[in-house]
Amino acid sequence: MNKNILLIISCLFLSLGALRAQDTTRVPPVDTTLVGRSILSVMGSNVEINQTPQVRQALEQYTRGNAEKPITGYRIRVFYDNGQGARAKSESIERALKEQLGQKTPVYRSFESPNYKVTVGDFRSRDEALRIYNALKGTYPTAYIIKESINYPR
């Protein structure tokens, strides 16, 4: 009887070890420093690439076709309110953010009944969003980072 219990417990530990060994399929994070840049411009002048024009055209067509599809990423929610003056305040915050951030970082104002929202950015990683968030949190202390569908960063 004791041998059977010992055998069952041994098999259980071995199977748990095998299951744990299968947990190695983690996907490495995407390097977003190259977003919007051609890999050819990063490689330098001493690299020679021999490819047919069709390969380059196929890559450009693929990139253009997928640029319109939304992807999951991060934005910074700066304003969220449903009070009487929420519409005017959201417009004011949108204008101020566009002046502060320029055209490089998009600012979105939306209305989902009954709330007005102002969000900033199309960030592919939380770290990218965190850089802008740290710059904004002094002016907008209620700001927070959210995960949602974003436009492909240009």
Beta bridge partners of 148: 73
Phi, psi (deg, nearest 5) at residue 99:
-70, -45
Is pTM beyond 0.85 here?
Answer: no
Residue 58 in domain: no
Q: Which of 152, 146, 154 is nearest to 78 (CA)?
A: 146
Supply the range of the domain harboring residue 84.
71-150
Residue 141 in domain: yes
Q: What is the pLDDT of residues 30-60, one digit of tens each?
A: 555 666 666 666 676 777 777 888 988 988 8
Residue 94 in domain: yes
Residue 33 in domain: no
Residue 37 in domain: no
Residue 104 in domain: yes
Residue 71 binned pLDDT confidence (cut-offs 50, 70, 90): confident
Q: Which of 64, 56, 62 is nearest to 40 (CA)?
A: 56
The predicted pLDDT at position 104 comes to 85
Q: What is the pLDDT of residues 95-150, one digit of tens each?
A: 999 998 888 889 999 999 899 999 999 998 999 999 999 999 999 999 999 999 98
Q: Which of 127, 152, 128 is nearest to 72 (CA)?
A: 152
The predicted pLDDT at position 36 comes to 61
Q: How many domains does the chain have?
A: 1
**CATH number reported for the structural domain that contains residue 130 in this entry:** 3.30.70.1070
Residue 81 in domain: yes
